[in-house]
Amino acid sequence: MIRLKKRPLVGFLADPFNKSARAIELDGDQILITRRGRVATMPLQSIASAPFLRKGILGTALTIRSGDSRDVTLKGAGDHAAHDFSEQVSAAWTRVNLEALESEAARLDRILASVLSLAAPSRYPAACKIAPLLEEARALDISLLTKLNTEAIGPEAVARIAPVREFAANPQLARANAVSAFVTAELDRWKGFFDTIESKPLTPEQRLSVVVDEDATLVLAGAGSGKTSVITAKAAYLVKAGIRQPEEILLLAFAKNAAEEMSERVEARSGVPIVARTFHAIAYDIIGIVEGAKPALADHATDDMAFTNLIKQILKDLVYRLSEVSKAIIQFFAHFLVEPKTEWDFKTKHDFYTHMESQDLRTLQGEKVKSYEELQIANWLYENGVDYEYEPVYEHKIAETGRRDYQPDFRLTESGIYIEHFGVRREKARDGSEQLITAPFVDRDEYLAGMDWKRKVHAEHQTMLIETYSYERQEGRLLTGLAEKLAPHATLKPRPVDTIYDRIVELKQVDDFSKLLGTFLRKFKSGGYSLQDCETKSDRMKLGKRARAFLDVFAPVFEEYQKRLEGRIDFEDMILRAAHYADTGRYVSPFRHILVDEFQDISQSRARLVKALKAQHPDVRVFAVGDDWQSIFRFAGSDIHLMRHFGREFGGRFDGETGVHRTVDLGRTFRSVDQIAFAARTFVLQNPAQIDKKIVPAGTATEPAIRVVTVSKGEDEGKLNEVLAALSAAAALEAKPATVLILGRYRFNEPDMPALRRRFPQLKISFKTIHASKGLEADHVILLNADSGRMGFPSEIVDDPLLSLVSPEEEAFQNAEERRVMYVAMTRARQTLTILASNARPSSFVTELRKDPAYGISTAPGAEPEAHICGECGGRLLGVTGQDGRIWYRCEHLQHCGNLLPACPCCGTALPRRADGATEVRCSCGASYPTCPECEDGWLVERSGRYGKFQGCVRYPTCSGKAKISNGDQPAIPKPRRRNRV
């Protein structure tokens, strides 16, 4: 022990207030500081530097700096004593640091070796492999290395610990450099393998995806980019490189035939016996291992038709029990089968009409009505046994007014009472008074005038009119109010529930609803949802009464479905039970690498199983290959968000970062020529939620590769034959058969295939639905019936908002999945794609493709009619041939709008149109006519009336626009105005 004290007199003069230490002692590995009668300790290892001496006229001051800023100073010491004490402390301080370093030498050397090996790693430095090293390095850094003083331990020791400290301080850079070094070396080391594993050498992107081995790796494999080659090479590489044993690799496919094909391909190409399995196969095996035996599988588990039929049977049985459940089922079919939107939910007539047409608003009586509120009224009348006619011609002849024949909304056949439903709501004016308002696109004054006219007609002819209003539905009393108004005039005779249900079956409304219920049930089970989850989400998404009505039906259907399993399991049970066993550790997984094919089709339950298997061991890797552009099995439970948020769902952790993963874009397609590949990419990326990917096409087209062929009514078979004849002629010139894949959105689109094959032996022709065509390709693809409508393409029946209750996130983009279905159809083609679309009702997809020059779509000369916008509603005016052989232009919204115009009287084919601000309409043939003063689209022609000749609108009697014939046979034309009709 050595002690340094301040000298009494000098010390007092140097430190009169006694703030510095009175004495400092070196006692082994610590320093004792005496100040004002108290003794404190300072470990030598906490000293930041050697003691500092400062000589003055009042003696020498000694300062010891501490790493925690608690410096100690002693003033007024003797100079010789202070120097001796300083040397003793410095020597002890150096000794302590070196002893501490030596005590962790083995640990330091082990960590140092691992850190240095990152310069040229022998294995991919995945986060799960480097994270433990980082944890050890930081622990050593905190416990020792930060406390070592470079001055104390010397330059050699400093150099020794520097790599560890640098790694601990900046591990992201170290890992990134290690990954880069490994990938570069590994690609070179395995070049021969990559050149020969497949019939053609792998592309640079394919090679990269094989050697990258992150905690979670996502390979974006676009259409025709060789994803199977990647999975084959990956499995073989893992074994041949000694990374895994075959039994440590789990290769997962979605379909049994795909699994079998993959197993054969891996073994044939690499000699590695790895058995690919479906999700259900591995799940079934897990259950068998844990339970000792495999439970029986439900008959309908592998048969979608049997599953749908079971749902239909459950519905029927519940109805015939005449319980409260049956009332809920009938209530849904009568009032909530379609999405309850009205004109108030749209800004334009065109949008409103388009939505209404997509909904197939067919009543229980069988007719198609024009609005959701009319549907409610009609179905309520039917339910309550009140016979009615929909839109009958009014029983009295109305004096000529220029209007169409008056057709009230409903006429009760027994009492003769008329019902008119008026699309008006109530609103408070600024002065506090109440006024009626109309939908945004409806002329309020004109509509209210029409209401008054109808009331006067009934008053004049003494017919009973009952009125209903949109504001009554808004206030929740449309049907109760109707019941009160009808009470004095009609006796309600409610039809039995089973009778109504039989009618629903007859109308085939049960089929689509059963499919919706089945899809909902599977997603409900696979996602682990509860009814409370669905109700809460419904409230949050404001899905309203329709969602509640649906859940009132679904709850008993699900309960009955579970009962009918009778101890057997379906595929949803199978996956979830296996995932539970893996989660809880009852099943111990041997797998260290999980390779998943067609990852875009993964569901919540399958994802849960993969996560459970991954969590069993810290070094398990997930290698997923898929294409979110081809995610088209939402109805089967696939959840595209699992792929879009791949890192969040399956990624690892490193340096405080979660979701660590790597994405490799294969990019290159071996299938489609440039025009098809680029057009398909542009088309699918209209949805900004899709993952952007680069595309390298298989070749360059020398002629237009995508063509739209317009088809008039009844011409479908003829146009298809024309297209096939052209392809057959081209194939004959090349003296080799060409493959042709005919695609339809639905099975009923299939043409007479035997006849086509006989007619065109030069072609190898096949038909598939687009969903069934995934993975297939052909020289030429023909897409049938790309028309608008409920059963058109895009299909308007698949994306029911109710499914969002059992989906993690709703896809906000309109027709999101149908757009991906179209992408799949386009990318089956190697050389040409021909799209057959209705001339009168082409689908929105066809319209988009033709409208944008970027797609490079070819249309036969004269086949694409000039686009004309309907001035009444904003829809399209389509050319049709009437029974008289003349060409007419009618609005696409035939049921709702009814705008009809003749072709130009001069040329008989084109449609005269008005330029902005012009007082005449002009035809492309050069003819011109006076504009109609009443409507947007019409023009005036000479007519004869009771008072002689006049100028009348060509749209008469829909439009009563007219003008007198002035001198010079020119009409006096009033100022034009636009009319709005509903």
pLDDT 10s digits, 140-197 = 998 888 878 888 888 999 999 999 999 999 999 999 999 999 999 999 999 999 999 9
Q: Tokens in use for 395?
A: 């029983």
Q: What is the pLDDT of residue 69?
A: 63
Q: Which residues contact 730 (CB under 8 A, 6 or more apart)?
A: 738
Task: Name the residue with tokens 């929909």.
Answer: 390
Q: What is the pLDDT of residue 508?
A: 85
Burial 431-450 (b: 16+ CB within 10 A, else e): eeeeebbbbebbbeeebbeb
Tell me the C-alpha distance between 807 and 635, whole Å. 11
For residue 773, which of 819, 728, 814, 823 has the smallest C-alpha distance? 823
Q: Which helix (H) or strand (E) holds 715?
A: none
Q: Which of 665, 691, 711 is at the close of a domain?
A: 665
For residue 508, which of 325, 340, 360, 327 has the smallest C-alpha distance? 360
Q: What is the pLDDT of residue 980?
A: 40
701 annotated ligand binder: no
The distance in angstroms from the start CA to the end CA of the chain is: 106
- The residue with greater pLDDT, 916 or 283, is 283
Task: Give the pLDDT band of residue 218 (cuts 50, 70, 90).
Answer: very high
Q: Check whether residue 815 and residue 922 sit in a common domain.
A: no
The fraction of the chain above a pLDDT of 70, given in percent, is: 96
Is residue 978 scored above 70 in pLDDT?
Answer: no
Task: Give the pLDDT band of residue 885 (cuts 50, 70, 90).
Answer: confident
Tell me the C-alpha distance between 213 and 208, whole Å. 10
Q: Check whether residue 790 and residue 687 sit in a common domain.
A: yes
For residue 390, which of 454, 873, 371, 448 has the smallest C-alpha distance? 371
Q: Is 49 inside a domain boundary? A: yes
Tell me the C-alpha distance between 83 and 80, whole Å. 5
Q: Check whether residue 78 and residue 173 sit in a common domain.
A: no
Task: Name the residue with tokens 């149109």.
Answer: 913
221 annotated ligand binder: yes
Query: What value does the mean pLDDT take over residues 790-797?
Result: 80
Q: Tokens in use for 374?
A: 């009319």
For residue 704, which of 789, 827, 831 has the smallest C-alpha distance? 831
Q: What is the mean pLDDT of the chain?
A: 89
DSSP secondary structure of 255-277: SHHHHHHHHHHHHHHH-----EE
Query: What value does the mean pLDDT take over residues 510-520?
Result: 88
Q: Indicate the pairing of strand 763-769 with strand 706-711.
A: unpaired
Task: Give the pLDDT band of residue 217 (cuts 50, 70, 90).
Answer: very high
228 annotated ligand binder: yes
Q: Tokens in use for 540?
A: 């949050």
Q: Check whether residue 722 and residue 689 sit in a common domain.
A: yes
Task: Give the pLDDT band of residue 278 (cuts 50, 70, 90).
Answer: very high
Tell me the C-alpha distance between 554 and 524, whole Å. 10
867 annotated ligand binder: no
Q: Is 728 inside a domain boundary? A: yes
Q: Check whether residue 82 and residue 157 sit in a common domain.
A: no
Tell me the C-alpha distance between 356 and 895, whole Å. 10
Q: Check whether residue 740 and residue 791 sit in a common domain.
A: yes
Residue 362 DSSP symbol:
B
Query: What value does the mean pLDDT take over residues 727-737?
Result: 86
Query: What value does the mean pLDDT take over residues 657-666?
Result: 94
Residue 222 DSSP symbol:
-
Check: CB of residue 162 under 8 Å from CB of residue 174: no
Phi-psi region of 735 (alpha: psi -120 to 50; beta: other; left: phi over 0): left
Residue 248 DSSP symbol:
G
Q: What is the pLDDT of residue 515?
A: 87
Tell me the C-alpha distance between 522 and 308, whole Å. 11
Q: Is 540 inside a domain boundary? A: yes
Q: Is 482 inside a domain boundary? A: no
The alpha helices in 301-369, defined as continuous H runs, are 304-320, 324-335, 349-359
223 annotated ligand binder: yes
Check: CB of residue 33 under 8 Å from CB of residue 41: yes
Residues in the chain: 982
Task: Give the pLDDT band of residue 959 (cuts 50, 70, 90).
Answer: confident
For residue 698, which of 150, 204, 224, 57 has the smallest C-alpha distance? 224
Query: What value does the mean pLDDT take over residues 825-837?
Result: 95
Rounded (5°) CA angle 730-735-736? 90
Task: Give the pLDDT band of residue 295 (cuts 50, 70, 90).
Answer: very high
Tell me the C-alpha distance between 615 and 587, whole Å. 12
Q: What is the pLDDT of residue 158?
A: 93
Task: Give the pLDDT band of residue 974 (cuts 50, 70, 90).
Answer: very low
Q: What is the pLDDT of residue 929?
A: 93
Q: Tokens in use for 203?
A: 């592309």
Tell me the C-alpha distance between 286 and 612, whole Å. 12
Q: Is 581 inside a domain boundary? A: no
Q: Is 477 inside a domain boundary? A: no
Query: What's the pLDDT tens digit per position in 407-426?
Result: 999 999 999 999 999 999 99
Tell me the C-alpha distance between 20 and 36, whole Å. 9
Check: CB of residue 440 under 8 Å from CB of residue 447: no
Tell me the C-alpha distance between 307 and 325, whole Å. 21
Q: Check whether residue 395 and residue 380 sit in a common domain.
A: no
Is residue 525 scored above 70 in pLDDT?
Answer: yes
Q: Tokens in use for 975?
A: 């100022």
Tell me the C-alpha distance between 684 and 690, whole Å. 8
Q: Which of 153, 180, 207 is at the close of a domain?
A: 180
Is residue 131 scored above 90 in pLDDT?
Answer: yes
At residue 891, the 3 state secondary structure works out as strand
Is residue 891 scored above 50 in pLDDT?
Answer: yes
Q: Check whether residue 381 and residue 459 sit in a common domain.
A: no
Distance of CA 281 to the CA centre of its chain: 28
Tell me the C-alpha distance between 144 and 100, whole Å. 7
Q: What is the pLDDT of residue 982?
A: 37
Query: What's the pLDDT tens digit per position in 452-510?
Result: 999 999 999 999 999 999 999 999 999 999 999 999 998 999 999 889 998 988 888 88
Q: What is the pLDDT of residue 864?
A: 54
Task: Name the residue with tokens 């009702």.
Answer: 841
Q: Which of 830, 859, 888 is at the close of a domain?
A: 859
Check: CB of residue 253 under 8 Å from CB of residue 262: yes
Q: How many CA atoms lie within 13 A of 146 on its CB side?
A: 11
Q: Check whether residue 715 and residue 806 sit in a common domain.
A: yes
Tell me how many domains the chain contains: 7
Range of the domain at 608: 190-292+590-665
227 annotated ligand binder: yes
- The residue with greater pLDDT, 129 or 734, is 129
713 annotated ligand binder: no
Q: What is the pLDDT of residue 402?
A: 56
What CA–CA distances, in Å, run from 862 to 261, 482, 709, 858?
48, 53, 11, 12
Q: Check whether residue 402 and residue 380 sit in a common domain.
A: no
Helix and strand element counts for the chain (H, E): 31, 36
Is residue 67 scored above 80 in pLDDT?
Answer: no
Q: Is 530 inside a domain boundary? A: yes
Q: Check whether residue 300 and residue 437 sit in a common domain.
A: no
CATH number where 786 lies? 3.40.50.300
Tell me the C-alpha distance between 179 and 126, whole Å. 8
Tell me the C-alpha distance between 817 and 631, whole Å. 7
Task: Give the pLDDT band of residue 591 (cuts 50, 70, 90).
Answer: very high
Check: CB of residue 597 under 8 Å from CB of residue 262: yes
Q: Check whether residue 556 and residue 608 sit in a common domain.
A: no
Pick the most confident of 124-138, 255-269, 514-528, 843-857.
124-138
The reply to whether the predicted model has a pTM over 0.95 is: no
Rounded (5°) CA angle 270-271-273? 110
Query: What value does the mean pLDDT take over residues 822-827?
Result: 95
Q: Is 545 inside a domain boundary? A: yes
Is residue 560 scored above 80 in pLDDT?
Answer: yes
Q: Which helix (H) or strand (E) holds 697?
A: none
At residue 717, the 3 state secondary structure works out as helix
- The residue with greater pLDDT, 691 or 183, is 183
Pick the most confident of 4-13, 378-387, 908-917, 966-975.
378-387
224 annotated ligand binder: yes
At residue 492, the 3 state secondary structure works out as coil
Tell me the C-alpha distance between 600 and 638, whole Å. 7
Tell me the C-alpha distance between 633 and 103, whole Å. 61
Q: How many CB atoms lie within 10 A of CB 480?
A: 11
**Dihedrals φ, ψ of 742, to 5°?**
-95, 125
